[in-house]
Amino acid sequence: QKEVEQNSGPLSVPEGAIASLNCTYSDRVSQSFFWYRQYSGKSPELIMSIYSNGDKEDGRFTAQLNKASQYVSLLIRDSQPSDSATYLCAASGGSYIPTFGRGTSLIVHP
């Protein structure tokens, strides 16, 4: 059974710091990896996708993928209170149906 594991947190970081969110997946067939952000009471929103080993940067966000270790991470630089949310890691194979982790709660305090 495909599984995506995340530490539920909460991860608490001060404003301006780097937040590091981690995720592992069990299915070696997985080819596509995603990070969704979900604010409390809202629906998930895609913020990053990554398909190849290495880093992918988009503004303050960097996604990192290591397929050999089956590990995905999301770094948020210069964290802001508005980044406080639950971050969902997801992995998918050829069916385009992602398996989601349970999410990591991030709290950025001023």
Strand partners, 2: none
Closest by CA position to 103, among listed 28, 40, 54: 40
* CA-angle at 20, arms to 9 and 28, nearest 5°: 90
Site for other proteins in 28-87 (CB under 8 A): 32, 34, 36, 42-46, 49
Neighbours of 37 (CB within 10 A): 20
Tell me the closest approach of the beta carbon of residue 78 to other proteins, in angstroms: 25
Read off the tokens for 52. Answer: 């190849």
Tell me the closest approach of the beta carbon of residue 45 to other proteins, in angstroms: 7
Tell me the closest approach of the beta carbon of residue 15 to other proteins, in angstroms: 27
Question: Per CB under 8 A, does 101 bind other proteins?
Answer: yes
Binding site for other proteins (CB under 8 A): 32, 34, 36, 42-46, 49, 88, 92, 95-103
